[in-house]
Amino acid sequence: MQQVDKGFAIRVRDLVVGFGHQTVLDHLSLDVRKGEILGLVGASGGGKSVLMRTIIGLIPPGSGEIEVMGRPIGDAGDRVTQSAAARWGILFQQGALFSSLTVRQNIQFPLRENLVLSQSLMDEIATAKLEMVGLAPEDGDKYPTELSGGMTKRVALARALALDPVIVFLDEPTSGLDPIAASDFDALIKTLQKTLGLTVFMVTHDLASLNAVCDRVAALADGKIVAIGPMPELLQSEHPWVRAYFHGKRSQMLQPQTR
């Protein structure tokens, strides 16, 4: 089937990001297509979270260009960055919810920050988002310490969806979940992509997630994207780090054993 070119949700060109003498991203380029789930893999400390934070304007790039939904990020001043902010939702790696706020108040936080809405409308939105991520309305009254790990991830996702974003950034959304909860979460992401037409940018080390939900997978090594494509293509990559990642001992354990 021929893919209709709907354009790119995110375009990164020649991006350089560093801290002091350390160069983390070194002339990195990456395109994320509208409506796709892109998985990002890379060594721990390799710069995945830095890339995500730079795309959303939290870290200023040394050089290079970033466009989100056709609008430049970074050099265009705070107002553009801010108005674009409503178009994406974020689930951070240290995905902390505010511990002093209930689940419902956490989900409503981005609404309060960005919009002026009545309390009853905000309550309706929170209930709808809870349902969207498979939680009950009563869960809205709980505090973050009263949630399981899987519930916490779901609440963080509900908060990321609060402003009806077109793009969601997920930094290791299934880490720390048991395999069943993780695959439930994967299925949820896939459903949201299909029903809401979301573009999903997902950092993950979870090989099952990469296989099950990602349309394409990008590999970050040496500060660059060294391979990108559907999983079967990545498995064929000759790049030494990509080979070691997908064909190393730990990933072998996931392959069926030949007898």
Ligand X SMILES: Nc1ncnc2c1ncn2[C@@H]1O[C@H](COP(=O)(O)OP(=O)(O)OP(=O)(O)O)[C@@H](O)[C@H]1O
Q: Under the rule (CB under 6 A), what is the footprint of ligand X?
A: 19, 24, 42, 44-50, 93
Nearest CB to ligand X, comparing residues 55 and 130: 55
Max distance between CA atoms of the chain, in angstroms, equals 64
The minimum distance between CB 46 and ligand X, in angstroms, equals 4
Residue 93 or 114: the one with the smaller Cβ distance to Mg ion is: 93
Hey, which residues between 91 and 110 contact Mg ion (CB under 5 A)? 93
Interacting partner of 42 out of Mg ion, ligand X, none (Cβ under 5 to 8 A depending on kind): ligand X
Answer with the entry of ligand X, Mg ion, none that 98 interacts with (C-beta below 5 to 8 A by kind): none
Cα–Cα distance for residue pair 103/94, rounded to 1 Å: 17
To Mg ion, the closest distance from the beta carbon of 93 in angstroms equals 5
Distance between CA atoms of residues 114 and 41, nearest Å? 32
Cα atoms in the 13 Å half-sphere on the side-chain side of 175:
12
Place of tokens 């979301």: 198
Task: Please state, in angstroms and rounded to a whole number, the distance separating the CA atoms of residues 53 and 60.
Answer: 9
Residues 40-59 that bind Mg ion (CB under 5 A): 48-49
Q: Tell me the closest approach of the beta carbon of residue 41 to Mg ion, in angstroms.
A: 11
- Residue 60 binds: one of Mg ion, ligand X, none (C-beta under 5 to 8 A by kind): none
Tell me how far apart the alpha carbons of residues 106 and 145 are, in angstroms, rounded to a whole number: 13
Tokens of 189: 């992401």
Partner in contact with 24, chosen from ligand X, Mg ion, none, beta carbon below 5 to 8 Å by kind: ligand X
- CA-to-CA dists, residue 168 to 72, 129, 171, angstroms: 18, 14, 10
Q: Which residue is nearest to Mg ion (CB)?
A: 49
Where does this chain bind Mg ion (CB under 5 A)? Answer: 48-49, 93
